Chain A
Amino acid sequence: MEDILNECLERLFKGESIETCLNAHPEQASGLEPLLRTSLMLRQSTAAIRPDAEYKARTQYQLQAMFYDRHEKVKKEVRIPVWQRKWAVALTTVAAILLAGVGAVAASATALPDDALYPIKLAAEQARVALAFSDVDEAKLHLQFAERRANEMTEMARQGKSDEISTLTEQIANHLGKLAVAEATLGITKEEPEALAPPAPALPEEATAAAAGMDTGGLEAVLSQSRAMNLALLEEALDKAPEELKPALEEAIDSLARDYDRTISIIEGGSS
Chain B
Amino acid sequence: MSIEKDVVSRAIKGDGKAFAQLYEELFDKVYRYVYLRVGNETEAEDLTQDVFVKALEAIGSYRWRNLPFASWIFRIAHNQVIDYLRKQGRVEKVDFEDDVYPVDESSPAQIAEQRIEAAELRDNIKKLSPSQREVISLRFGAELSTAEIAEALGKSAGTVKALQYNGIVALRKMMLGNRQGREDGRYSE
Is B16 a contact of A42 with CB atoms below 8 Å? no
Would you call B122 an interface residue if the criterion is a C-beta within 8 Å of the partner chain's C-beta atoms?
yes
**Could you tell me how many residues of chain B have their Cβ less than 8 Å away from some Cβ of chain A?**
48
Tell me, rounded to whole Å, the shortest Cβ–Cβ distance linking A142 to chain B: 27
Is B16 a contact of A67 with CB atoms below 8 Å? yes
Across the interface, which residues of B come within 8 angstroms of A67, CB to CB? Answer: 14, 16, 19, 56
Is B146 a contact of A39 with CB atoms below 8 Å? no
Is A41 a contact of B117 with CB atoms below 8 Å? yes
Which of these, A5, A48, A66, A71, contacts B168 with CB under 8 Å?
Answer: A5
Q: How far is the CA of A67 from the CA of B145 in the complex (A)?
A: 28
Would you call A191 an interface residue if the criterion is a C-beta within 8 Å of the partner chain's C-beta atoms?
no
Q: How far is the CA of A24 from the CA of B29 in the complex (A)?
A: 30
Docked complex: A56-78 residues within 8 A CB-CB of B: 56, 59-60, 62-64, 66-68, 70-71, 74
Q: How far is the CA of A3 from the CA of B159 in the complex (A)?
A: 11
Q: How far is the CA of A144 from the CA of B122 in the complex (A)?
A: 50
Interface residues of A: mostly helix, strand, loop or mixed?
A: helix
Q: How far is the CA of A77 from the CA of B105 in the complex (A)?
A: 57
Residue of B nearest to A68 (CB): B16
Q: Knowing that A6-B164, A50-B100 touch, tell me 9 more A-B residue pairs with CB under 8 angstroms.
A: A2-B164, A5-B168, A49-B35, A50-B32, A63-B19, A63-B53, A66-B53, A67-B14, A70-B56
Binding site for A on B (CB under 8 A): 14, 16, 19-20, 23, 27-28, 31-32, 35-36, 41, 44-45, 48-49, 52-53, 56-57, 100-104, 114, 117-119, 121-122, 136, 139-141, 143, 145-146, 158, 161-162, 164-165, 168-169, 171-172, 175
